[in-house]
Structure formats: structure tokens, C-alpha cells
Amino acid sequence: PFEERTKLNYDHPDAFENELLIAQLKELKAGHAIEEPVYDFAKHDRSSETVTVTPSRVIVVEGILIFCDPALRDLMDIKVYVDTDADVRILRRILRDVEERGRSLSSVIDQYLTTVKPMHEAFVEPSKKYADIIIPVGGENQVALEMLVNQIRVHLDGTARS
């Protein structure tokens, strides 16, 4: 029911369908297209539409909780953690949730203090240890980005640039 779904803690790893993500990632890695579900934030549920994702030599899987599942981590060739300042994270969330999702400022702040921050401390921050590359300054660190590009090159064709 809708009322139950609105109470779901989306900042906890159990909120996600990792089994489906793992199965679809395996399909992509095997060279098969998948139908990616589209989430409807207003309904707090999947919508009926999907997006066709075709296989590629580089597959980017993003999300703040993707390193929490060992089976998902095992499918990743390069694991990247983008380390962003807490003030920047809360400001981005406020802007997104108020402007894009129609939420009130007080509800966003309340959710941040009661759910988002504790879940970040319990799951997101500790999962950083699984990253192969940590990009500081919210992805604005040029040296770290160049290291990532080089690692992707090595993975794809065995060549790196200095």
C-alpha cells in the first residue's frame, strides 16, 4: 500500500532490489540488453515504463549504497567513491527534494536528521573502504579523475597515459 511505501527508508541498503540489479548487470556483462525499471518518486514505487539499456564495454552503476552488497561489488571491475562534503550533500538534497519532488523544507531537514545522516554514517561512509579510487572534493579533483580515466583505459585496452 501507498502509505507503507511512504515510510520506507530509502537510505538503507534493504530498500533496493539488489537481486534484480545483480541479474541485470550480469546480463549486460554477458552482452544482452536489459529493461531497466523506472522509479516514480511521487508513487514511491516502480512505474510501468522501463528504459532499454544496451550492453557496452563500460557500464556505470551509481548510487550511494552500491558497495554495501558483496555480490554487487564482485561484479564491478573498478569501484569509485566520490567523497563529497556533508554541507554540499545536504544542500543538494534540499534543492532536489524541494524543487523536483515538491517536499517542504522542514520535511527534508527532518528526514536528513532522523534517517539520511544516520544511514550515511552506518552504511555509506563505511563502504568507502571498498573503493578502488576515492575522488575527493565531490568529484572536482582533476588528478583523481585522470587516475580514473587511466584505469578505465587499462581495463579496456591495456594502455594508460602518464
pLDDT of residue 91: 97
Residue 130: what pLDDT? 98
Q: Which residues of the chain have pLDDT under 50?
A: none
| Model confidence pLDDT, tens digit, residues 132-152 | 999 988 888 899 999 999 999
CATH number of 2-157: 3.40.50.300
pLDDT of residue 158: 73
Question: How much is the pTM?
Answer: 0.85
Beta carbons of 117 and 93 less than 8 angstroms apart = no
Which of 102, 79, 63, 84 has the alpha carbon at shortest distance from 141? 84
Q: Say what the pLDDT of residue 81 is.
A: 96
SS3 (DSSP) at 34 = strand
Q: Yes or no: say if 29 and 59 are a contact pair by the CB < 8 Å rule.
A: yes
pLDDT at 162: 60
